[in-house]
Each structure stands twice: as C-alpha cells, then as structure tokens.
Amino acid sequence: MMAILGAIIGLVVERESWCTLCMEGLGRFQHCIVVPGQFRNSCVSCHYASVGKDCSVRPDVEKLVKNGYSPVSNIVRQICLQKQLDNSLEALKKLVQDSLTQRDQSMDLQIKKLQGLMWERNQAIEERDRAIVASNKIIETSNQAIEAGIATLLSEVRSYRADVAAAEKTLKREE
C-alpha cells in the first residue's frame, strides 16, 4: 500500500540511472520510482519486492535527502501555495462583492434623490395649476364687474339722451 502511494507521489528516476531490478524489467512498477526519505530511500519496486536494502539507487537518493529534498515537504509547499491562491481569490471575490454592494447602495441613494426631486417637481406643478385656476377666477370676476359697469353706463347714457330729448321738445314748444 505504501509502495503504491510512493508510486503516486514519488519521483521517476531517469532511465539510465534505474536500479538493477527495474533495469532488468523485474520491478512491480513500470518505472524506477523513488520517494526521498521513504522506504529507506530504495525504489518502490525493490521495497515492494522486499529487497529495498539492496536497491542500487539508494546512495543517490540518500544524497538527495541529505541536501534537504523531500517530496512530502514539496507537496505541503504546493498545498500551502494553493491555499494562498485560494485565500487571495477569496479576498478578490469579497472585494468585488463589496464594491458591487457599494455601487448598489449609491445607486439606491441616487434613485431616492431623483424620486425626491420628482416629488418636489410634481408639488410645484400642482401649485402652479392651483394658481392658474385662482387667477382665472379673478379674471372671470373682474370681467363680470366690467360687463356690469358697461351696462350701468349704457343705461345712464340712455336716460341722459331721453332727458336731452325731453328738454329739446319743451324748448320748441316755448318758441
């Protein structure tokens, strides 16, 4: 089981450096695979065949391990990098979401302001219409007063003329 896991996360040895078992095509796996720091640094095929201590790549893998190479730490590093990427993606998403929310809020505010302006405008229009109705009434009333004044004036003129005619008749009779 561990050998199979090793075959998944391990390193494939370059063809010319394969261990004797793998070179002869007797290994459990198709390639000579090592997992530095695991299986006593033998290849997985030799470990699987329980001849790990005789694996000819061991000294080279031990050198790798001494130099600090570890596939496990590499995988951990990859996971950490992935986590960092996920975190920054998450932060980016949040930033976008926040700015969208802010935009929506400022749009709501602008719509409310516009609605307020519309309401004020409608109020002004209603007020203007009321003023027009009131001034029409004033005009109508004054027209009526003017008409009444003219009628009075005409009847005064008529009675004045009648008086003048009567006076002329009286003068003629006396002549």
| Minimum CB distance to Zn ion, residue 67 (Å) | 20
Selected from 3, 21, 35, 61, the binder of Zn ion by CB under 5 A is 21
* Residues 55/21, Cβ–Cβ less than 8 Å: yes
Q: Which one of 19, 36, 39, 61 is in contact with Zn ion (CB under 5 A)?
A: 19
From the CB of 20, what's the least distance to Zn ion, in Å?
7
CB of 47 to Zn ion, least distance (A): 8
Q: Which is nearer to Zn ion, 17 or 73 (CB)?
A: 17
How many residues form the binding site for Zn ion (CB under 5 A)?
A: 8
Give CA separation, 49 vs 25, 44, 45, 59, 108, in Å.
Answer: 13, 8, 6, 19, 72
Label each residue of 70-139 as H, E or C. CHHHHHHHHHHHHHHHHHHHHHHHHHHHHHHHHHHHHHHHHHHHHHHHHHHHHHHHHHHHHHHHHHHHHH
The residue written with tokens 């004020």 in the block is 120
Q: Which is nearer to Zn ion, 40 or 121 (CB)?
A: 40
Q: What is the dihedral of CA 93, 98, 103, 104, to 10 degrees?
A: 100
Closest to Zn ion by CB, 15 or 93: 15
115-144: contacts with Zn ion (CB under 5 A): none
- What mask of x and - would describe binding to Zn ion in positions 31 to 60, judged by CB under 5 A? -x----------x-xx--------x-----
- Using CA atoms, how far apart are residues 154 and 50, in angstroms rounded to an integer? 141
The footprint of Zn ion (CB under 5 A) covers 19, 21-22, 32, 43, 45-46, 55
